[in-house]
Amino acid sequence: MLGPMRGEVVVAGGDAEVPDSFHAAVGLAGAGTAMDEAVARLRAGWQGPGRLVLVTGGDTAYADAVLGGPPDVGRHERAPGRFVPPPGAPETVVPAVLRALGPGAARRDGEREVPLEIWRTPTFRRWYAVQRTARNRLVGARPVWSFHSRSGLLFFWALHVTVYVAAERRTKQNEVVLARPDTASVLLHHGGPSPADTVLVLVREYRSPGTAADGFVHELPGGSGPHPAMHDLAAAEVWEETGLRLDPARLRRHGHRPVAATVSAHHAHLYSAELTDAELEWFRRCARPGGDTGRGEVTWPALHTFDAVMSQRLVDWTTLGMISQVLFGGRCI
């Protein structure tokens, strides 16, 4: 029985020779015997269902991975959003590149400029699905920056996009799409005699961009992580940042929205849970600093009335909106 058909491998001598569509592309920044061997190994090793393009001639707009280049430049700084293997011989470098490419993904025209590492993220896929539903067309997408976690996984990415806006019959090319993984946020609250007296749990954490008067950020417990279900992530973040063990079944879901729509494409998924009298007392007496110190995260849980949150201007507009959604159902306050 014949195995699955694999796609062709094309060598392009610069961007002008890159085909209109492909499944994967590798930029080859170098020459010589080692690069010739790398090309041969890529040809022999490619098993994807579509076309693999090997782009020679240095810098290229079309690359999911890059081989060669200045060794004194950081891997991700040299090729943001693209896979750059550690230096080595072709017999070790090429298999690493092929593993990173996997089967690739079918892309054409402006889509070709989106590296696979970004293309595969849920935040990009949602953003692009919205654009296509609106009949907008991606003309170009230059990766300008990426930030990876200590484990090497892509965390933040930024694309300088050129988009044809169908509803306005114009092309817009002066903005960057920035994104990170979606987050889960949880409002823990305990009712009082009036909405102003409702007690809320906030965590105080030093975050470098913070501009509150004390230099900290005051926010709902929350974050991102590898949990497959958002409500499990939400409960895990409550435990990590406040020390409270919370059954995910107690969480009430309030949906998800963008956090800062003109800046980032990621969404926050909002949950809430009403604290018992015993849990409220535990926070007053026993709460301790939390967070993941291995990632530089230290969180300080604290109780505040809604009135104090408002009068002291403790939280940003996004957090205030999430609090309002839980306490008032989004009605004016």
Structure letter (DSSP) for residue 83: B
The structural domain count of the chain equals 2
One domain for residues 203 and 83:
no
Among residues 132, 151, 179, the one where a domain terminates is: 179
One domain for residues 32 and 174:
yes
Report pTM.
0.89
Residue 223 resides in a domain? yes
Contact 53, 18 (CB under 8 A): yes
Q: Can you give the residue range of the structural domain that contains 171?
A: 9-179
One domain for residues 58 and 192:
no
* Distance between CA atoms of residues 127 and 130, nearest Å: 5
One domain for residues 173 and 189:
no
Among residues 179, 210, 230, the one where a domain terminates is: 179
246's CB contacts (< 8 A; 6+ apart) are 186, 235, 238, 239, 273
Q: How confident is the prediction along the chain (333 residues), in pLDDT tens digits per residue?
A: 444 557 999 999 999 999 999 999 999 987 788 889 999 999 999 999 999 999 998 789 999 999 986 554 445 555 789 999 988 889 999 999 999 999 999 999 999 999 999 999 999 999 999 999 999 999 999 999 999 887 788 999 999 999 999 999 999 999 999 999 999 999 999 999 999 999 999 999 999 998 888 999 999 999 998 888 999 999 999 999 999 999 999 999 999 999 999 999 999 999 999 999 999 999 999 878 888 877 788 999 999 999 999 999 999 999 999 999 999 985 544
One domain for residues 154 and 23:
yes
One domain for residues 298 and 239:
yes
Report the CATH number at residue 301: 3.90.79.10
One domain for residues 265 and 134:
no
Residue 1 resides in a domain? no
One domain for residues 78 and 167:
yes
Cα distances (angstroms) measured from residue 190 to each of 165, 194, 230, 276, 280: 46, 11, 23, 7, 7
Question: Inter-axis angle of helices 33-45 and 90-101, to 10 degrees?
Answer: 40
DSSP per residue over 258-275, as a string? ESSTTTB--EEEEEEEEP
Residue 34 resides in a domain? yes
Among residues 164, 179, 194, the one where a domain terminates is: 179
234 φ, ψ (degrees, to nearest 5): -60, -45
